[in-house]
Amino acid sequence: MTSETDRYAYSYDAAVLDGEMPAIVVRPENSETLGEVVKLCNDNGLPLTVRGGGTNLSGGTIPKPGGVVVLTNSMTKILEINEEDLYAVVEPGVVTAQLAAQVASSGLFYPPDPGSQTVSTIGGNVAENAGGLRGLKYGVTKDYVMGLEFFDTGGNLVKAGGKTVKCVTGLNLSGLMVGSEGTLGVFNKIILKLIPPPQAAKSMLAIFDSVKAASEAVAAIIAGKILPATLEMMDNFTIRTVENFRRAGLPTDAAALLLIEVDGHPAQVADDAARVETICRENDARELRVASDQHERNAIWQARRDALPALAKLKPTCVLEDATVPRSKIPAMIEALELISKKYQLTIGTFGHAGDGNLHPTILTDKRDKKEWEKVENAIDEIFDCALGLDGTLSGEHGIGMAKAKFMVREVGKASLDYATRIKAAVDPKNILNPEKMVRRNNG
């Protein structure tokens, strides 16, 4: 595709960054063509950005001006679901929720569930090491990648990992490729671990009159050695916004909500649910609502999934951050976010995966207002500093891309960045694979 309209459509992604026009957009329909495209780009020194659903929030699919965007949305085959050895083999463009549904129809479970799962792809999930609501108990995408095949810059198909539960042959190349954000190779096939689904689940809402109490309850549940499948939080601003967006019967006067699901064997579920309830009450929850049927359970999780779209409707620009801290530091992080919001007089709605320390402070603003945007940039800077000061990380799941590349040295240090830059230079000497993302040649 070379028309201006098509190129414009692939010039940006879900990050709040200005787009860049590629020279051409290509859509390979099979492995052979994908490999040829990679080789052609390398032979001609053309920067190449692979794109799955384009839902990443860090500018990972914004192309280099004049470069090539390679779409994977014609490579959508689920090649195998193996019920004996519990794995699936997929092409990179398979949509996450479609794989999860197909796997479920075989009586198995693929847990990673990013909020974008109905549109994001497995290739994009692996390249970003995507997380989601079930990360607390079930882990994130990296915990399910058994192996993969990718094209190197020469168009050679490199195999990493395999179909066995254990595999220690050679360097752990699939470990290196997970989270590589399209900078080290182009995935052609991915082998994913599947697990048996939990037999039962219980969802509940815990309602609090103070954010501090809710965040202390999160820390107490984890310290109580209970591992919910999902432990999410919403602050008052987010609760009210979600309720206005789609009525779910949320208590709009609550300071904070915890949305919790425990799953597993029915006896364990009953036990865990009772203990979670006790801990929430000990931490001043004013009310506990337990979903009594699938309809009520769906309503709780729909409300949680509505958080981002509901907030995003309020202002022209919505900056979704994902600085993450160790779970015990959640109360401190929440307090810091409140101070930052007051200091810069910014509207920040906070929700997210509190159980794994991965909150999503969401700044609502208008990027065209230069004065306010300056305040937003300063606030983001302070959020990162604060998370790092609490032994946290710049990104729990959204990746670095273009958005956070300049901050990386603060977290990992110069030696680590240099090491990564040397790996990138060795496997991609012409710097054609998603240049300027994550590891920049000159950002050490």
Ligand X SMILES: Cc1cc2nc3c(=O)[nH]c(=O)nc-3n(C[C@H](O)[C@H](O)[C@H](O)COP(=O)(O)OP(=O)(O)OC[C@H]3O[C@@H](n4cnc5c(N)ncnc54)[C@H](O)[C@@H]3O)c2cc1C
Residues at the contact surface with ligand X, assessed by CB under 6 A: 13-14, 49-57, 60-61, 72, 92, 114-116, 120-121, 123-125, 127-128, 130-132, 181-182, 186-187, 308, 397-399, 434, 437
**200-208 vs 230-235, strand pairing mode:** unpaired
The DSSP 8-state label assigned to residue 86 in this structure reads T
Cβ-based nearer residue to ligand X, 127 or 254: 127
Cβ-based nearer residue to ligand X, 125 or 341: 125
Cβ-based nearer residue to ligand X, 72 or 215: 72
Cβ-based nearer residue to ligand X, 81 or 186: 186
E-strand spans in 220-292? 230-235, 256-264, 285-290
In the bound complex, what is the minimum distance in angstroms from residue 273's beta carbon to ligand X?
24
Interatomic CA distance for residues 272 and 285, integer angstroms: 17
Cβ-based nearer residue to ligand X, 186 or 379: 186
| Nearest CA among 170, 185, 65 for reference residue 123 | 185
In the bound complex, what is the minimum distance in angstroms from residue 215's beta carbon to ligand X?
20
Strand order through the sheet with 24-26:
24-26, 68-71, 48-51
Cβ-based nearer residue to ligand X, 193 or 398: 398
**200-208 vs 256-264, strand pairing mode:** antiparallel
| Nearest CA among 412, 393, 400 for reference residue 333 | 393
CB–CB of 345/314 below 8 Å?
A: no
In the bound complex, what is the minimum distance in angstroms from residue 348's beta carbon to ligand X?
17
In the bound complex, what is the minimum distance in angstroms from residue 442's beta carbon to ligand X?
19
Interatomic CA distance for residues 168 and 292, integer angstroms: 46
In the bound complex, what is the minimum distance in angstroms from residue 127's beta carbon to ligand X?
3
Cβ-based nearer residue to ligand X, 216 or 397: 397
Cβ-based nearer residue to ligand X, 397 or 428: 397
In the bound complex, what is the minimum distance in angstroms from residue 34's beta carbon to ligand X?
8
Q: For residue 12, how far is the Cα from the chain centroid?
A: 18
Cβ-based nearer residue to ligand X, 62 or 207: 62
Residue of closest CB approach to ligand X:
124
Q: Does residue 332 sit in helix, strand or coil?
A: helix
Cβ-based nearer residue to ligand X, 124 or 331: 124
The DSSP 8-state label assigned to residue 142 in this structure reads G
| Nearest CA among 136, 148, 132, 145 for reference residue 55 | 132
Interatomic CA distance for residues 20 and 116, integer angstroms: 23
Helix intervals (H) in 345-405: 370-389
CB–CB of 368/316 below 8 Å?
A: yes
| Nearest CA among 426, 425, 409 for reference residue 417 | 409
Which neighbouring-strand residues pair with 82? 87
In the bound complex, what is the minimum distance in angstroms from residue 281's beta carbon to ligand X?
29
| Nearest CA among 201, 206, 199, 202 for reference residue 291 | 202
CB–CB of 399/61 below 8 Å?
A: no
In the bound complex, what is the minimum distance in angstroms from residue 283's beta carbon to ligand X?
26
Interatomic CA distance for residues 250 and 233, integer angstroms: 13
Cβ-based nearer residue to ligand X, 55 or 203: 55
SS (H, E, C) 42-70: HHCCCCEEEECCCCCCCCCCCCCCCCEEE
In the bound complex, what is the minimum distance in angstroms from residue 441's beta carbon to ligand X?
17
CB–CB of 221/261 below 8 Å?
A: no
In the bound complex, what is the minimum distance in angstroms from residue 187's beta carbon to ligand X?
4
In the bound complex, what is the minimum distance in angstroms from residue 159's beta carbon to ligand X?
15
